[in-house]
Amino acid sequence: MKKLIIAISGLILFANSAISAGFSPSIGVSGSWAAYSATGAESEYTGGAVVEKSKRKVKGAFATEYASVFVELGLNDAISLGLDYVPMSFETPQNISNENNPNQNRVSAKFSKLTTVYAKINVPLGGTYLKLGYSQVDVISQESMSSGSTYGNESTNGMTVGLGYGHEIGNGISIRAEVMASEFDDVSTKSNATSAERTQIDVSDMIGARGTISVVKSF
């Protein structure tokens, strides 16, 4: 909540600066309900060379919800450019290997600082619009390994497309509803084990979908 308040305060300051510069900005707050899926493969490698591909391969999905803040600048009546930022993190469920063994490995991933730069394109269908965006998110590994090793953190990029509808309720305030779909690049990370044989995790087929409700203030 503290991060969300800070982000909203920053957007208000930005809007004031944009108005002073002669622009007509909009700022908003969104609540999203999302589902993501991906495939993870574990491999062993020695001296930088992968020696056993897909030692363990798992496909999983999870649902989450989060809030975001955004700012838009209208280029004309049809096109706006925007920046959407999620000031909180969301996590995958924990994956446990060797579940019936005392030497268990527990791994999950936390996604942080999801940021999307987008174009909002109004279409002549009474408040309907399209969104095309480019997203980036930090992927933070969270693990408890029997070997004591850890994995490095990475970031990944992806494309986002969506369809939405907006309705103005007065005084420059609008309500929007939209559905979005995203696809992210593959990610690889290696363990920092000091033994000759270490492990590598490859995450692929990362896709997501979300429904969003937003409140927007236009100046």
Residue spans per domain, the chain: 2-218
Cβ-Cβ contacts under 8 Å for 56 (sequence gap 6 or more):
41, 42, 97
**Higher confidence at residue 3 or residue 75?**
75
d(CA 70, CA 83): 5
Mean pLDDT, the chain, whole residue set:
78
Question: What's residue 140's pLDDT?
Answer: 81
List pLDDT tens digits, range 66-96.
Answer: 999 998 988 778 888 889 999 888 877 766 5
Mean pLDDT of 121-149: 81
List pLDDT tens digits, range 172-210.
Answer: 899 999 999 999 998 877 776 655 556 777 788 889 999
d(CA 205, CA 57): 13
Question: What's residue 159's pLDDT?
Answer: 94
User: Among candidates 132, 91, 90, 135, which has minimal Cα distance to 115?
Assistant: 135
Q: How confident is the model at residue 13 (pLDDT cuts 50, 70, 90)?
A: low
CATH number of 2-218: 2.40.160
